[in-house]
Chain A
Amino acid sequence: MIVQYENIIIKTISRILIPFIQIYALYVIMHGHYSPGGGFQGGVILGASFILLVLAFGAEASQKRISLKKLTVLASLGLLIFSGIGLVALLMGGNYLDYGKLPLPLESIPKIRAMGILGIEIGVGIGVMAIMITIFLAIASYETEGKND
């Protein structure tokens, strides 16, 4: 695991900055369809905020908020949202990921398309965030796990 050096400066600044990084990540995800950004970029920023948490507080201390079990569930959930929306469109008679065919209670097709793209981006964001943190934790904990085996 990551060796933990007590450092009050990094801990305090991380505690201040992490909520704002996460709000910015949600903003990037939500504005994906009419400004630069989107699911992947927002997910990477969201994952980076958790990586900052692990770097500042150590892997054991942040185990409460992000464990590998939760991350696996989240990665699967993101993929399920993405492919689920595509399959629903397929079941309603359109092509795969044909947002216009989604059964949403909205009056016009462009609004339904906008909501469909938003759903896709939320799914991509959750999946990318979970995979980013999983890769980081796997690389960070490689050395000690090898010694324990």
Chain B
Amino acid sequence: MLEVLSGLLIACGIFLFASGTLGLLRLPDFYCRMHATGKCDTLGASLALIGCALYNGFSLVSLKILFIVLFIFLANPTATHAIGRAALVNQVFPWTRGPSPAGSNFGKEREEE
């Protein structure tokens, strides 16, 4: 029973990793790619590691794995937020379909400030 549950959790985690990687490869620009990887990797890693902890049973190793899950849960979204904000401040241009009328202002307004 516990083995089935842990296998299910690890499979869900791997599915999330796969979809995040697909987004990283296929989405058009920096912000969209980070949107895909930031969330999928956090939940995917958490689920896979919780599955490992369940499979391992009640021991010190499981406790360490749960600490890693907690760390990833706190650090990964924060790092994603920091990178996205740094890109916005440094005028990384978001993707738009076709030539963008608003896009020409995006970098210039900030340069003048």
Contact = CB atoms under 8 A, between A and B. Distances in A.
A5 B88 CA distance: 12
Contacts of B75: 13, 17
Q: For B71, B78, B81, B85, which residue has the most chain A Cβ atoms within 10 angstroms?
A: B78
B81 A9 contact: yes
Contacts of A13: 74-75, 78
Contacts, number: 17
Contacts of B78: 9-10, 13
Q: How large is the interface on A (under 10, 10 to 19, 20 to 34, 35 or more residues)?
A: under 10
Contacts of B85: 5, 7
Contacts of A10: 78, 81-82
Nearest to B81: A9
B102 interface: no
Interface string B57-85: 00000000000000100110010011001
A16 interface: yes
Interface string A1-19: 0000101011001001100
Nearest to A7: B85
B53 to A, nearest CB: 18
- SS class, residues of chain B in contact with chain A: helix
A13 B89 CA distance: 20
A20 B78 CA distance: 16
Interface in B75-107: 75, 78, 81-82, 85, 89
B74 A17 contact: yes
A16 B71 CA distance: 10
A13 B82 CA distance: 11
Contact of A17 (B71, B81, B82, B89): B71
A7 B75 CA distance: 15
A13 B80 CA distance: 13
Interface of B: 71, 74-75, 78, 81-82, 85, 89
17 contacts: A5-B85, A5-B89, A7-B82, A7-B85, A9-B78, A9-B81, A10-B78, A10-B81, A10-B82, A13-B74, A13-B75, A13-B78, A16-B74, A17-B71, A17-B74, A17-B75, A20-B71
Given A10-B78, A16-B74, A20-B71, 14 more contacts: A5-B85, A5-B89, A7-B82, A7-B85, A9-B78, A9-B81, A10-B81, A10-B82, A13-B74, A13-B75, A13-B78, A17-B71, A17-B74, A17-B75
